[in-house]
Amino acid sequence: MAENPPVKNSHNVIVRTCRVVMDVRIRINEITPESVAGYFALDGTDEDLPWEWAERQSRLLTALLQDEEVLGRFLMSIARDDFGDLLESKRITGMSNDEEDALFEKIYTGMEGDDRVFFEEARRDGFLPDNTGLIHKAFVMDWEETAVIDVCVLEPDDESRSSTSFTDGGK
């Protein structure tokens, strides 16, 4: 008898779970007039989205990049969210807006004067996600260069912890 028999569900369907570990590169682009030119007019004629709006997000991005702990949490959220979009999965998501707002709060509370006040007011009024969109667009997942590091077949009796690993060294 097999040491690890497959689990049968209804209709004689066997269900097993594999855990896949991947390395995915994320490029973080600067927010510059050239990189965001498609979002608004740089000549000042678009009152809704002045260049100052993008400059504030650029300064917030710079501050985010200086805090490794917050950056790490943000990168994990970006990766989960983008992976969920890639798979068209509603189960794989990044942080909620409230969680992300709290994360950004750790960054903008350390910023100088007007920027800090701007982001505090945006969060208070429920518009912080509308004022961090360029930061999200600055993070670009490089799925084509993804390396599969490990694939594990999880044990059917405890699929959340135990596994049998088949590592290919990222090849």
Report for 38-42, 49-53, 108-112: range of highest mean pLDDT:
108-112
What is the domain extent for residue 56?
23-146
Structure-model confidence comparison of residues 13 and 164, the more confident one: 13
pLDDT of the residue at 97 = 92
pLDDT band for position 43 (50/70/90)?
low
Residue 5 lies in a domain: no
Residue 105 lies in a domain: yes
Domain count, the chain: 1
Residue 34 lies in a domain: yes
- The answer, yes or no, to whether residue 106 has pLDDT greater than 70, is yes
* pTM of the entire predicted model: 0.78
Q: How many residues belong to the chain? A: 171
Residue 170 lies in a domain: no
Q: What angle do CA 14, 20, 26 make, to 5 degrees?
A: 145
Using CA atoms, how far residue 134 sits from 25, 29, 79, in Å, is 19, 10, 16
Structure-model confidence comparison of residues 116 and 2, the more confident one: 116
